[in-house]
Amino acid sequence: MPSTVFQASNPAEPPVRRQILAVLGNRHVVFGSSHDHGPVAFSPEHDSVILPRVPSVRDMPEARLIEHLKVDGCQIVERPSQSDNWGDLVLQGPDGARVLIDLKFREDSPTHRELDRLAAEVANRNTVSVPVEVWRFSSDRLSLMISSFQQGKVCHETLVPLNVWEATPNGIFDRAKVLNRVADWEERLATFFSQIAAWIVERPTLSVDQTRTVTMSEELMRNFAVPDRELPILDVLENGEAAASFVPRALWIIGADGRVDLITRSGTDILVYDSEGSPPGWKLADRNRRTQLSNFDRPTFFALLEAQ
């Protein structure tokens, strides 16, 4: 449980206290503080809007972002007409305090040069009567950086995704589903590697080693702000020498539910998890015809291991 009591945000408070719901491309993202953010203020059940799909975040019109933006405890009101047209919206707190906000949308994290430019922009624009902020959304590694003027200087604060989901006419696909799939993948790999370890017990010259890892960072994980995972590589050693390695390559692949490459002295073979087989299990893809699958069992494994 968080150690502090969360209060509805107010433009007069530091931006890091806020929770913000933004539609980025096809995703709904709730941004908030990485610690002590309290209960997530927006939910897929209550705050989803089903919108026409866009091919990518880059193709999303800014108007769509502005139209569906929500800030917990605050209202987004119409921007007053100005001579220089700076700013995209005005955020108004329950006490009527207002902040003029300019939205920026980028793919990458900001560079030092950009941070300097943002700081100068905020410092030049900010006045006591019209406080300003720049909200900079990053789509690759989801984040929202808010540049504001606080206690006489410009601060850049980064909000992280607290929840991410996609709403479609067929239902909600949320971050929890991605987390569950990743957990299930880790479990299936652990079971599979235990099975291999059990197979080689009968041969005293063979042993296994699971000290090496690969980083799992798949597109869907990045899209739903699921942190990278370290997955084990299973090395099979023969008299202490490397004989084969099972390397987890991908979970989300077309036509199967995960891929592990088996690298032996004779080459690389692709193993895929066939979740629709009866029973579900690991299958070996033919080296020349990838769609041709056969059971991956103990004799197959030893045949591949011994092939030169």
Q: Which stretch binds other proteins (CB under 8 A): 61-69, 161-169, 175-183, 249-257?
A: 249-257
Site string for other proteins, 68-107 (x = CB under 8 A): ---------------------------------------x
Closest approach, Cβ 214 to other proteins, in A, equals 5
> With CB under 8 A as the contact rule, which of the stretches 6-14, 46-54, 111-119, 256-264 interacts with other proteins?
256-264
By CB under 8 A, name the one of 264, 273, 274, 284 that touches other proteins. Answer: 264
Nearer to other proteins, 265 or 298 (CB): 265
Task: Give yes or no for residue 308 binding other proteins (CB under 8 A).
Answer: no
Which residue's CB is nearer to other proteins, number 35 or number 212?
212
Contacting other proteins within 275-304 (CB under 8 A): 290
| DSSP of the chain | --SS------TTS-GGG--EEEEETTEEEEEE-SSS--S-S--HHHH-------SSGGGS-HHHHHHT-EETT-EEEPPPP-SS---SEEEE-TT--EEEEEEEEESSPPPHHHHHHHHHHHHHH--SSS-EEEEEEETTTTEEEEEEEETTEEEEEEEEEEEEEEEETTEEEEHHHHHHHHHHHHHHHHHHHHHHHHHHTT-TTEEEE---EEEE--HHHHHTTPPPEEEE-EEEEETTEEEEEEEEEESSBTTBS-EEEEEETTEEEEEEEETTSSS-EEEEEPSS-TT-EEE--HHHHHHHHH--
Member of 5, 63, 128, 254 binding other proteins (CB under 8 A): 254
Question: Which residues ranging from 210 to 229 are in contact with other proteins (CB under 8 A)?
Answer: 212-215, 218-220
Pick the closer one to other proteins by CB: 102 or 269: 269
Among 6, 75, 115, 252, binds other proteins (CB under 8 A): 252
Contact positions toward other proteins, by CB under 8 A? 55-56, 58, 107-108, 212-215, 218-220, 233, 235, 242-245, 247, 249-250, 252-254, 261, 263-265, 267-268, 290
